[in-house]
Amino acid sequence: MKSTIVTESPEETISLGERIATSLRKGDVVSLIGELGSGKTTLIQGICKGLGVKGYVTSPTFVLVNIYQGRVPVYHLDLFRLRGLQELEGIGYEDYLYGEGIALIEWGEKMRELLPPTYIEIQLKRLAPDRREVIIKGLTSKDRFPPLIKN
């Protein structure tokens, strides 16, 4: 099952993230895939807002993971600078994927072989300066993301 949504502004992407957050549960892993500037961090800002995270959400740069506290712990990974899977072993990535919170992973394809058997994949594509296509895929998305159709 797959949902495709087109957003017309960063604000719309943030509110989409807030709607996605209502369907997320403890233990979920979300892999975000899309070129530079496609809106991964922006969508995560919305998801975090929806999960009740207060304060500024920005990509981890010198570390691989930022941890926020919302209604559950939120693990924000950004693998752009990842050089090898051993770096993930080094930070104990299992704690984030199989922990008590929700993992949101930018460039998640870089750890594809370490992802759990079931996870949610979100692909973002830049269609125009302010338009983004957001494709949400997950085995259970039919049950869990019914209200995402725009408006």
Please report, as a single letter, which amino acid is at residue 46: G
Q: Is 132 in the site for ligand ATP (CB under 6 A)?
A: yes
Q: Select 40 or 144, whichever has its Cβ closest to Mg ion.
A: 40
Site for ligand ATP in 26-55 (CB under 6 A): 34, 36-42
CA distance 138 to 2: 7
Q: Is 108 in the site for ligand ATP (CB under 6 A)?
A: no
Which residue in 61, 130, 140, 143 binds ligand ATP (CB under 6 A)? 130
- Structure tokens that stand for 74 in this block: 């939120």
CA distance 65 to 85: 14
Which residue in 15, 59, 85, 137 binds ligand ATP (CB under 6 A)? 59
CA distance 16 to 150: 9
Which residue in 2, 9, 114, 116 binds ligand ATP (CB under 6 A)? 9
Which stretches of 15-107 are assigned E, i.e. beta strand?
29-33, 65-69, 73-78, 102-106
Helix (H) or strand (E) holding 137: strand 131-137
- The minimum distance between CB 32 and Mg ion, in angstroms, equals 8
Q: Is 41 in the site for Mg ion (CB under 5 A)?
A: yes
Q: Is 40 in the site for Mg ion (CB under 5 A)?
A: yes
**What are the residues binding Mg ion (CB under 5 A)?**
40-41, 59
**What are the residues binding ligand ATP (CB under 6 A)?**
7-10, 12-13, 34, 36-42, 59, 106, 130-132
